[in-house]
Structure 1
Amino acid sequence: MNKIISLLCLLVFSIANLLAQTEEFAEELFENYPDFKEDKITERRIKHELIISLIEDLKAEAELEIMKVGESIEGRSLNLISLGNGDTDVFLWSQMHGDESTATMAIFDILNFFNSDEFEAEKKEMLSNLRIHFLPMLNPDGAEKFTRRNSLGIDVNRDALRLQSPEAKTLKRVRDSLEADFGFNLHDQSKYYNAERTEKPATISFLSPAYNYEKDINKVRGNAMKVIVKMNQVLQQFAPGQVGRYNDDFEPRAFGDNIQKWGTSTILIESGGYPDDPEKQEIRKLNFVSIITALHSIATGNFKDSGISEYEKIPNNDRMLFDLKLTGLGYDLNGKTYTLDLGINQFENDLKGNLDFYYSGRIVDQGDLSTSFAYEELDASGLKLEFGKIYPDMVNSKEELDKLDTSDLLKKGYAYIKAGEALLQQDYAEFPLNLVSIEFKLNENLRPGKDANFFLAKNGDIKYAVINGFLSDLDNPEQEIKNALILK
């Protein structure tokens, strides 16, 4: 009995020691990330042309093998980048959806890590045990327009059975040729997902996809779950409580489910939201750290010590987040005052060329929102909603706009300025009030789907402005409205 107890104590000590080593490695990666960040990528809206230039830069690295493995519908190349000499093949592909680029950015950071002179011991362990393959930007035609679907108008992630698109055919052919042991299916999800029943955004969500309707767990799927447990442990160091788990209902058309069924332990990673990170640069860093530590875990085999039960403890993904939530707001209607909560989101609208965007803020829900959360929340108890007014004077030029005292206008309840035709030709207003045409009619109907432009007042004194979904404390001029709208 004493011998058994001693062995169990030794096992527990060994597991604790391995966990500590993993956490230390992750901490060092996190701290040294600026050394590896690919500085040619600073924003999410990246194009195939940039990816090709980065791949060209990598061709000078002797340790890398680069191969064109296919083309998109519009003739853009699909490229596989491989390194390492091990017997275990790991295949990572990104941007199957053209507007989901966080992991594409992280892949080039990871390649910079492997091409650096740092972490030699850890890299040697990985590269001697693994053969690692990256296929960045699987859907370059979608990326060109920063849209989800490919040029055929289909979701490539629902083309695993028919294989109608060349992008899907390439993914299937590469997976089969590698017979990869592990696969990382790299995506982005909405920033409005949260970890179930918490106010924390699901900054990273995981899934070990089911390979049948029964959701059976065989060794292949179980290994993916164990790797996810390791990744979750690492992420809790840097984004505690901000990890979610996707629903695992079987989708027979999806690549993740089928690649799991074909024998590759498949880890789905979804990059969601993070406060004040519209270009997902912090989430990019979390991808970098968690993927490298996952590769190290596979190389050393220490993922095998993880329990599948720990995977099942990761909170489910929920979708109960707003950008802005106002609670307990007074709203007058037909002579009576009602108490409402408002949920407001700031939606992105791509500009011409799909390299930049502007925001349009809308009310998306109202009523009792006590089970919801938000990136920004204001207790509006004691405040009443007042709809914005139109400034009475016409403004015809930017010079005239610049002369206006916007702080004073907001405090007086003006949300709109009548603008001349020249000012109305822009996509949006680089100004803290909305610019409107002479024909514009005020909206005084509080409903989901309506623009979010109104004021919050106490005893007739305006305290806050909500312009295009952005909350501005009128006693705090440092708070900025990122943009307003052109409304005709």
Structure 2
Amino acid sequence: MINILSSILNNYETFKEASLTGRYINATHISNPLKKAASNFEVKVLGESTLGEPIHLIKVGSGKLKILMWSQMHGNESTTTKAVFDMLNVFSDHSQDSVVKDILSNCTLYIIPMLNPDGARSYTRVNANEIDLNRDAKNLTQVESQVLRKTFDDLQPDFCFNLHDQRTIFSAGANEIPATLSFLTPSEDVERSVTKSRGESMKVIGAIYEDLSKLIPNRIGRYDDGYNANCTGDTFQSLGVPTILFEAGHSKGDYARDKTREYVLYALFSGLNAVAAQAYKKIETSTYFNIPENEKLFYDLILRNAEINGKNVDIAIQFKEILKDEEVLFLPFVENISPKLEFFGHKEINCDFKNVTLPDHNLLTENVIVDKILVNYEVLMIN
């Protein structure tokens, strides 16, 4: 593992951006971190969102290799935004570290910390026009998509880092381990050909995997690479720019994703170091394919061995994220009731074949939100 990761591991709390916590991160939350960044780096406004919120670009470093990265293309995917500002604090606080010096002397980073501020404000995947920006790369109907594409065209980057969150449903392979981080090199065609740019991004991901698997073994997955011409990553990859998709996933009990953000930070530094030092060129593309593919094997909670209407069943509950009073609430939604669920739960409770009902003693069914249930007339709080 590169030296800077060891240093970060020992000192993370000293440069973690303390003003950014939890899942709800909007443009107001990043205003002070942006001001702090402006005292050390170049910050400018690229344009405005549909509802008039500014979209910023942060320029860091002076090297020949240009890396464009963007976060919160989906407004409710905020983990990587927190990690980006943590990374900027490391650049400021560890400016004399040899790895930081190498990165910033060999690379120039262009960072859009929040591409979809309207979606971030309302905590939605889509923008104010209810368009998924990651399905708008071909038609460019939205101002936010146009801002990103113009930035790409103007900069002509050598690499792109596309930063996202993924749901808690994913496992890292066919096993009982959640995908805390996942990566993808998007395809350029339906055949998923390993082109030059895909091969280079595979090697960068391989370098990240070799570093991070020492820290979070068996918790890194490979995201589905089905081709979609409307997706930004697929588009930029097809234009010959190695593009890497980062997916921040689930750590045990970490629904605020403040632990996962730490791993995203390490992954960013690992990837940047691999590019700056050209170390990725020594990695075989086979390393990428050795990363286990994500599978949808998890629910947030499974109640095992419950009795409903005289039948023994398992009850799968998935949390729905709802914004209320500027706080993200996790509402337990009964998604699946079956005799034996071949899935895993991030938390599992054995009901010991006791009768399970709603608090009003009515039958528990699928497609309802429940914050508590009765197990043999005893209250069990779900969330």
Which interval holds the TM-score relative to the shorter structure?
A: over 0.9
Provide the C-alpha distance between the structure 2 equivalents of 1:50 and 1:379, rounded to a whole number of angstroms: 41
Provide the C-alpha distance between the structure 1 equivalents of 2:340 and 2:54, rounded to a whole number of angstroms: 47
Aligned to 1:403: none
Amino acid at match of 2:24: R
How many Å apart are 1:268 and its aligned residue?
Answer: 0.4
> Which of 365, 371, 376 is the matching residue for 1:447?
365
What SS does the corresponding residue of 1:380 show, helix, strand or coil? strand
CA contact (8 A) 1:209 1:221 kept: yes
Shifted more, 295-304 versus 448-457: the winner is 448-457
How many Å apart are 1:329 and its aligned residue?
Answer: 2.6
Provide the C-alpha distance between the structure 1 equivalents of 2:12 and 2:369, rounded to a whole number of angstroms: 40
> Which of 163, 177, 181 is the matching residue for 1:186?
163
What SS does the corresponding residue of 2:250 show, helix, strand or coil? coil
Deviations 1:231-254 (A, max 9, x none): 122222332211111111100101
Task: Provide closer, same or farther for how the CA distance between residues 174 and 386 of structure 1 changes in structure 2, counting only shifts above 3 A.
Answer: closer
Provide the C-alpha distance between the structure 1 equivalents of 2:75 and 2:356, rounded to a whole number of angstroms: 41
* Residue 343 (1) aligns with residue 262 (2): no
How many Å apart are 1:141 and its aligned residue?
Answer: 0.9
> Which of 349, 355, 372 is the matching residue for 2:343?
372
Aligned to 1:261: 238
Q: How does 1:389-400 map to 2 (within 5 A)?
A: none
Provide the C-alpha distance between the structure 1 equivalents of 2:63 and 2:237, rounded to a whole number of angstroms: 21
Deviations 1:330-358 (A, max 9, x none): 33x3xxx4221111123232113xx2133
CA contact (8 A) 1:225 1:311 kept: yes
Amino acid at match of 1:365: N
Which ranges in structure 2 are unaligned for 5 or more consecutive residues? none
What SS does the corresponding residue of 1:86 show, helix, strand or coil? coil
How many Å apart are 1:189 and its aligned residue?
Answer: 1.2
Q: How does 1:252-331 map to 2 (within 5 A)?
A: 252-331=229-308
Higher relative contact order (CA 8 A, sep 6+): 2
* Residue 247 (1) aligns with residue 217 (2): no
CA contact (8 A) 2:94 2:100 kept: no
Provide the C-alpha distance between the structure 1 equivalents of 2:96 and 2:168, rounded to a whole number of angstroms: 33
> Which of 365, 380, 383 is the matching residue for 1:466?
380
Task: Provide closer, same or farther for how the CA distance between residues 368 and 226 of structure 1 changes in structure 2, counting only shifts above 3 A.
Answer: farther
Provide the C-alpha distance between the structure 1 equivalents of 2:312 and 2:318, rounded to a whole number of angstroms: 20
Deviations 1:255-314 (A, max 9, x none): 010011112110001112112212111011111111011101111111112111111121
Shifted more, 45-54 versus 248-257: the winner is 45-54
Provide the C-alpha distance between the structure 1 equivalents of 2:379 and 2:194, rounded to a whole number of angstroms: 53
Amino acid at match of 1:345: Q
What SS does the corresponding residue of 1:67 show, helix, strand or coil? strand
Provide the C-alpha distance between the structure 2 equivalents of 1:358 and 1:299, rounded to a whole number of angstroms: 40
RMSD after superposition:
1.8
Q: How does 1:36-435 map to 2 (within 5 A)?
A: 36-61=15-40, 64-117=41-94, 120-331=97-308, 333=309, 337-352=310-325, 355-381=326-352, 383-388=353-358, 415=359
Deviations 1:381-432 (A, max 9, x none): 4x312425xxxxxxxxxxxxxxxxxxxxxxxxxx4xxxxxxxxxxxxxxxxx
Provide the C-alpha distance between the structure 1 equivalents of 2:265 and 2:26, rounded to a whole number of angstroms: 20
CA contact (8 A) 1:207 1:247 kept: yes
Provide the C-alpha distance between the structure 1 equivalents of 2:126 and 2:341, rounded to a whole number of angstroms: 35
Aligned residues: 382
Amino acid at match of 1:32: N
How many Å apart are 1:362 and its aligned residue?
Answer: 2.4
How many Å apart are 1:455 and its aligned residue?
Answer: 2.9
Provide the C-alpha distance between the structure 1 equivalents of 2:146 and 2:61, rounded to a whole number of angstroms: 25
Structure of higher CA gyration radius: 1
CA contact (8 A) 2:95 2:101 kept: no
CA contact (8 A) 2:42 2:60 kept: yes
Provide the C-alpha distance between the structure 1 equivalents of 2:319 and 2:53, rounded to a whole number of angstroms: 33
Shifted more, 46-55 versus 298-307: the winner is 46-55
CA contact (8 A) 1:92 1:184 kept: yes
Task: Provide closer, same or farther for how the CA distance between residues 307 and 117 of structure 1 changes in structure 2, counting only shifts above 3 A.
Answer: closer
What SS does the corresponding residue of 2:28 show, helix, strand or coil? helix
Provide the C-alpha distance between the structure 2 equivalents of 1:215 and 1:443, rounded to a whole number of angstroms: 53
How many Å apart are 1:59 and its aligned residue?
Answer: 2.1
With normalisation by structure 2, the TM-score equals: 0.94
CA contact (8 A) 1:96 1:138 kept: yes
- State the identity %: 31
Which ranges in structure 1 are unaligned for 5 or more consecutive residues? 1-20, 389-414, 416-441, 471-488
* Residue 34 (1) aligns with residue 13 (2): yes
What SS does the corresponding residue of 1:157 show, helix, strand or coil? helix
What SS does the corresponding residue of 1:74 show, helix, strand or coil? coil
Provide the C-alpha distance between the structure 2 equivalents of 1:163 and 1:386, rounded to a whole number of angstroms: 50
CA contact (8 A) 1:347 1:360 kept: yes
Shifted more, 114-123 versus 276-285: the winner is 114-123
What SS does the corresponding residue of 1:350 show, helix, strand or coil? strand
